[in-house]
């Protein structure tokens, strides 16, 4: 199963880097959407089917925690897998993220860390990765 992914980060460089790492992780990807803040991310979620959200915390307009609250508060998106990708170090804030059913990956991060977190949240298996890597002609070169 290919995952439709939404990357929400106010830094275009970090969005590119997250996507690059995601591709290296070998996770099968479908559509990839990007948003520069929580509000824009919410609009993407309302317009497209998204399986996985990779979410920064500190952003203008609507931050990552607020977007996570909106996702969990809407029955249509409550079950979407969310991974927070941040430099955040506060244990209380990370615990809150986990309580809201989201994963957490600390920046900087490696492809295998991202893959492990995605596997845990989505249940996607290594078999699916391998199948995808073959099918995508080297797209997943991890």
Which is nearer to another protein, 45 or 59 (by Cβ)? 59
Is the CB of 51 or the CB of 117 nearer to another protein?
117
Q: Would you count residue 98 as binding another protein (CB under 8 A)?
A: no
32 sits near another protein (criterion: CB under 8 A)? no
Integer Cα distance of 56 and 54 in angstroms: 7
Question: 3-8 and 81-86 as β-strands: parallel, antiparallel, unpaired?
Answer: unpaired
- Measuring CA to CA, which residue among 61, 62, 109, 103 is closest to residue 84? 103
For residue 133, state whether it binds another protein (rule: CB under 8 A): no
Contact call for residue 37 and another protein (CB under 8 A): no
Least distance to another protein, CB of residue 142, Å = 13
Is 88 a binding residue for another protein by CB under 8 A? The answer is yes
Tokens of 23: 């591709």
Nearer to another protein, 87 or 120 (CB): 87
Candidates 14, 116, 121, 133; binder of another protein (CB under 8 A) is: 14
- Name, in order, each residue with C-beta under 8 angstroms of 44's C-beta and a sequence gap of 6 or more: 6, 33, 35, 50
Give dist(CA 129, CA 29) in Å, integer: 10
Q: Is 90 in the site for another protein (CB under 8 A)?
A: yes
If DSSP codes are grouped into helix, strand and coil, which group holds residue 54? strand
Q: Examine residue 20 and tell whether it contacts another protein (CB under 8 A).
A: yes
Cβ partners under 8 Å of residue 113, min gap 6: 105
# residues near another protein by CB under 8 A = 21
Contact positions vs another protein (CB under 8 A): 10-14, 16-17, 20, 58, 86-94, 107-108, 110
């Amino acid at each position: 199963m290919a995952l439709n992914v939404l990357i929400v980060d106010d830094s275009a460089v970090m969005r590119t880097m997250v996507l690059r790492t995601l591709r290296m992780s070998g996770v099968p990807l479908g559509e990839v959407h990007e948003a520069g803040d929580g509000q824009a991310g919410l609009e993407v979620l309302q317009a497209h089917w998204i399986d996985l959200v990779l979410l920064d915390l500190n952003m203008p307009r609507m931050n990552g925690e607020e977007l996570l609250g909106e996702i969990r508060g809407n029955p249509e998106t409550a079950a979407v897998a969310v991974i927070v990708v941040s430099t955040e170090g506060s244990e209380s804030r990370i615990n809150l993220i986990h309580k809201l059913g989201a994963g957490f990956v600390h920046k900087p991060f490696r492809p295998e860390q991202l893959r492990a977190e995605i596997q845990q949240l989505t249940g996607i298996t290594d078999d699916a990765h391998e199948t995808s890597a073959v099918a995508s002609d080297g797209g997943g070169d991890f």
